[in-house]
Amino acid sequence: MLKLEGKTALVTGGSSGIGLAIARRFAAEGARVFITGRRQAQLDEAVALIGAGAQGIQGDVTQAADLDRLFATVREEAGMLDVLVTSSGVAEYAPLEATTTAHFDQAFDLNVRGMVFTVQRAIAQMADGGAIVLIGSIAGSISNPGYGTYSATKAAVRSYARTWTSELAPRRIRVNTLSPGPIDTPMFDGVSEELRATVTAQIPFKRLGRPEEVAAAALFLASAESSYVAGAELAIDGGMTA
C-alpha cells in the first residue's frame, strides 16, 4: 500500500533541490502534491518531473497576498490539507563584520517569517491528525562560521517546532523538524572542488548526502509510520553532528 495514498500535500520551495525530491517521493507514494516557488519556468519543469497530477503555484512565501492565493487554490482544488513541508529557504555567506540589515532581513523573512505564516494558514485548512515537516538544518545546532544569520534562522525553526507540538497536540497535528547536513543539491554547483573536499572530510560517511535520502526521511515524518513522533529533530547528515 502506498504510504500517502489519498493524502494532499503542499511543499513550499518544491521546485528544486530537497523540496523537489520530497515532492517527487510524496507523489510516488500516492499523494496529490502542490508545490510553490518564485520562478514559474522552474515550477513548470518541476511539475513535469513530479508527474502524477502535481500542481505548481507561483508565489513568494514572504508575501501575505501570495500565501492567501496559494492556500485558496489548494482549498478550491483539493479541499483539506494533510501534509505540509516548508522547504523554502536561503543561505548566504556573511561573517559578522559583513552582515548587513538587508542580509539579515532577507534570511529571517524567508527562513522564519515565511515559514511561520505558511504554517499559520496551513493549520486553518489542515485535517486533524495532519503532519507538518519543517526543513531545518544541522547549522542550527553547530558552529557555522560565516553563516551566523542562516544558522540562527534554523535554530528558530527548531524552536517553533517544539512550541507548535504542544499547541497543536489537541488536534493531533504532528510537527517535526528535518535537519539535513551537506546535501548534493544545485546549491553546491557553484562550490569549488577544494571546499567540497573540505566539507566532505568533516562527514563520517565521507560523502555528501543525496536529496532522495532527505526525501525518504520526510516521507517517514509525513506518514502514519511516525504516528508517535512529534516535536523531534531528525538529522540527515551522515553522522556529522554526532
Q: Alpha-carbon distance 95 to 75, whole Å? A: 42
pLDDT at position 161 is: 98
For residues 223-236, give the mean pLDDT.
97
Per-domain residue ranges of the chain: 8-236
Q: Alpha-carbon distance 12 to 90, whole Å? A: 13
User: 150-173: b or e for each residue (b if 16 or more CB lie within 10 Å)?
Assistant: bbbbbbbbbebbeebbeebeeeeb
Asked whether 51 and 241 are in contact (CB, 8 A), the reply is no
What's this model's pTM, rounded to 2 decimal places? 0.95
At 152-209, the pLDDT tens digits run: 999 999 999 999 999 999 999 999 999 999 999 877 776 778 878 888 999 999 999 9
225: three-class secondary structure by DSSP: helix
Catalytic residues, which ones? 150
Rounded to a whole number, what is the distance in angstroms from the first to the last CA of the chain?
34
53 pLDDT more than 90: no
Q: Where are the beta strands (DSSP E) in 65-191?
A: 81-86, 126-135, 174-180
Q: Alpha-carbon distance 84 to 200, whole Å? A: 31
Other CB atoms within a 10 A radius of the CB of residue 189 amount to: 7
At 17-46, the pLDDT tens digits run: 999 999 999 999 999 999 999 999 999 999
Residue 7, all three cell numbers = 493524502
User: 76-98: b or e for each residue (b if 16 or more CB lie within 10 Å)?
Assistant: eebeebbbbbbbbbbbeebeeee
Q: Alpha-carbon distance 73 to 34, whole Å? A: 10
Bridge partners of residue 126, in order along the sequence:
81
Topology (CATH) of 8-236: Rossmann fold (3.40.50)
